[in-house]
A and B are shown apart, each in its own frame.
Chain A
Amino acid sequence: MSQREVTQRELDELLRSQELPPLPADRVKQIEIALTANLKPVRPLAAESVYLAGFATGFIALCAIGCYFAGQSGWHALNSVQKLCVFAPLGACAALLVFSIVRQMTPAAKHVRSSAVLSAGAFLLLFLMMAAIFRPVHELEFVRTGVMCFRTGMTFAIPAAFLFALLLLRGAALSPALTGATAGGLAGLVGLAVLEIRCPDLNVYHIVAWHVSVTLVCAVGGLVFSVITSQRRATS
């Protein structure tokens, strides 16, 4: 054969003309019998807007409950610029995560990954903003107060994670790792929002180490939990 160029047409022809093994007819019959036995009607998943509202309401309600019980000293300690720099990216990050998570509930939805990546970007922006606007302050009880804050954040993040998991059960998430990390991250943001409103400590190290870490721990926790449960389900 001559060493001429392989043309696009030739390649297309080759790919189209391939013969694949025939589909076993008995297998199709088996599938039909299995699926049509006891076939029951199902209620289609509600519109996306319903779930967007559900997640957003859950997020806001849990933040409000957290602020009511934990206090609002942090809010009063922040000046206007700091409030804007903290809560604008936090809100953007939460909104993008809610959007992404609702999309992940349906197979073949658009913009699933891009919104998750954008929310990670918004979170990075939040992190950088916090590192830039807050200053290091010497603290005598860095670990003790920090652990207290972390525990408070987790106290609100964990119920949020359960609530989001309940909403997610109705959907069909096809990427358990991404869905787990997204839901965990959103629950972690509830904890972070409560801490930012509650805690008057403006030491940058305290905020980064004990407030922001709530979100990261929750995102990693969600990822690990969903990967383990999906692997168990697949094995069984």
Chain B
Amino acid sequence: MTVIEQLMVRYQQADEDAARALIEQLSPQLYRFFAAQRLGNPDDASDMLQDAWLRIHRVRHTYRAGEPLLPWVYAIARRVRVDSYRRRRRIATREVAVEVLPGAPTQTCDAGELPPFDQLIAHLPSSQREVLTMLKVNGLSLEEIARATSCSVGSVKQKAHRAYERLRGVLQSQRAEKGGAS
């Protein structure tokens, strides 16, 4: 059993120190998971982080000792992300915009740079975006992603491959545009 899996077992037994340690260890990567997929502003990511922990707390009895912890955590996190997206979409349909607030200046890349991550992955469908985030931002293995997303390893590989192909195409066309402009 890894350290975080031991902490999880102690958390189930109501060990406060273990709960704190687990929250401190997992929160940064969970936050990156939510923030990297750019579903709104950073506040949304921290709200989702809080929702994820509340849900983890509520269903902590469903973790079985000896099972890998990260896929279990990410399976819950991706459910929180989906619910949050739906909730926000529902609210958005009921809201009426009264004024247009000045938006944050978007990061643009110079001719020699590559575009920021969020701009780049915005070109991907959500399933590919999710797999790429888990793989490259959170550093999960293919097997762990497969368990977290209830897919086969082959399907995860295929999504990652397609995401790479698409990103390569986007970057290529951006370079071509810039090359033409200069």
A-B contact pairs, 26 of them (CB 8 A): A1-B182, A6-B168, A11-B164, A14-B120, A15-B137, A20-B32, A20-B137, A23-B27, A23-B31, A23-B46, A27-B46, A27-B49, A27-B50, A30-B50, A32-B23, A35-B53, A39-B16, A41-B12, A44-B63, A107-B62, A107-B71, A107-B75, A108-B68, A108-B75, A172-B59, A172-B76
Q: How far is the CB of B95 from chain A (nearest CB, A)?
A: 15
A-B contact count (CB 8 A): 147
Are B117 and A28 within 8 A (Cβ)?
no
- By a CB distance below 8 angstroms, the chain A residues around B182 are 1
Could you list which residues of chain A lie within 8 angstroms of chain B, going by C-beta atoms? 1-6, 8, 10-12, 14-16, 18, 20-21, 23-24, 27-28, 30-32, 34-36, 39-45, 47, 105-110, 112-114, 171-172, 174-175, 231, 234-235
Q: How far is the CB of B41 from chain A (nearest CB, A)?
A: 9
- By a CB distance below 8 angstroms, the chain B residues around A5 are 168, 172
Q: How far is the CA of A23 from the CA of B23 in the complex (A)?
A: 12
Q: How far is the CB of A235 from chain B (nearest CB, A)?
A: 7
Are B46 and A39 within 8 A (Cβ)?
no
Q: How far is the CA of A3 from the CA of B179 in the complex (A)?
A: 7
Q: How far is the CA of A28 from the CA of B98 in the complex (A)?
A: 33
The main secondary structure of chain A at its interface with chain B is loop
* B1-18, CB < 8 A from A: 12-14, 16
One digit per residue, 1 when the CB lies within 8 angstroms of any chain A CB and 0 when it does not, for chain B 124-137 equals 00000000100011
Are A28 and B136 within 8 A (Cβ)?
no
One digit per residue, 1 when the CB lies within 8 angstroms of any chain A CB and 0 when it does not, for chain B 143-181 equals 000011011100000000000100110011001101100
Could you list which residues of chain B lie within 8 angstroms of chain A, going by C-beta atoms? 12-14, 16, 19-20, 23-24, 27-28, 31-32, 35-36, 42, 45-46, 49-50, 53-54, 57-65, 67-68, 71-72, 74-76, 79, 83, 86-87, 90, 111-112, 114, 116-117, 120, 132, 136-137, 147-148, 150-152, 164, 167-168, 171-172, 175-176, 178-179, 182
Q: How far is the CA of A47 from the CA of B67 in the complex (A)?
A: 12
Residue of A with least CB distance to B152: A114
Q: Which among A11, A20, A39, A40 has the greatest number of chain B C-beta atoms within 10 A?
A: A20
Q: How far is the CA of A12 from the CA of B114 in the complex (A)?
A: 12
